[in-house]
Amino acid sequence: MKKGFADQSKVYEAGARTKRAVNLSVDAEILKVAKEMKINLSQALEETLRKLTEEERARRFYEENKASIDAYNALIEKHGTTSEAYLRELYGDDIYGDDDPSV
C-alpha cells in the first residue's frame, strides 16, 4: 500500500481534520495533465468542494431568508439607516454635504 493512503474502509487523521479515502471517476486526459503538472488531487478536490459548498450555503441562506432580506432593504430604502438618522439629528437633512457651496 502506498504511503499516505488508507484502506477504503479506514479513516485517518490529517492535521485536525478527519479524512476519508474515496473512489472517484475522473476524465483520463485531465488526470494525466494534472499528474504531469504535479497537482495534488486531494488538495484540489478539497479546495473546490470547500468553495462549492460555501457558495451553495450562501445561495440557500439567501433563498431561505429572501423575504426578510427584501423587507429589511425596503425599510432602509424608505427610512434610511440608524447612522443616517443620527447624522440628520446632528446636521439636518444635508448629512452628505451636498449643499456645501465651497464644493
pLDDT tens for 44-65 read 999 999 999 999 999 999 999 9
- Give a yes or no: residue 101 inside a domain: no
Question: Whole-prediction pTM value?
Answer: 0.58
- Give a yes or no: residue 21 inside a domain: yes
- Give a yes or no: residue 1 inside a domain: no
pLDDT digits (tens, 9 = 90+) for 87-99: 888 887 776 766 5
Q: How many CB atoms lie within 10 A of CB 21?
A: 14
- Give a yes or no: residue 49 inside a domain: yes
- Give a yes or no: residue 102 inside a domain: no
Q: How confident is the model at residue 1 (pLDDT cuts 50, 70, 90)?
A: very low
- Give a yes or no: residue 47 inside a domain: yes
Burial of 56-84, coded b for 16+ CB within 10 Å and e otherwise, reads eeeeeeeeeeeeeeeeeeeeeeeeeeeee
Asked whether the beta carbons of 8 and 23 are under 8 A apart, the reply is: yes
Count of domains observed in the chain:
1
Residue 75: domain span: 11-91
- Give a yes or no: residue 98 inside a domain: no
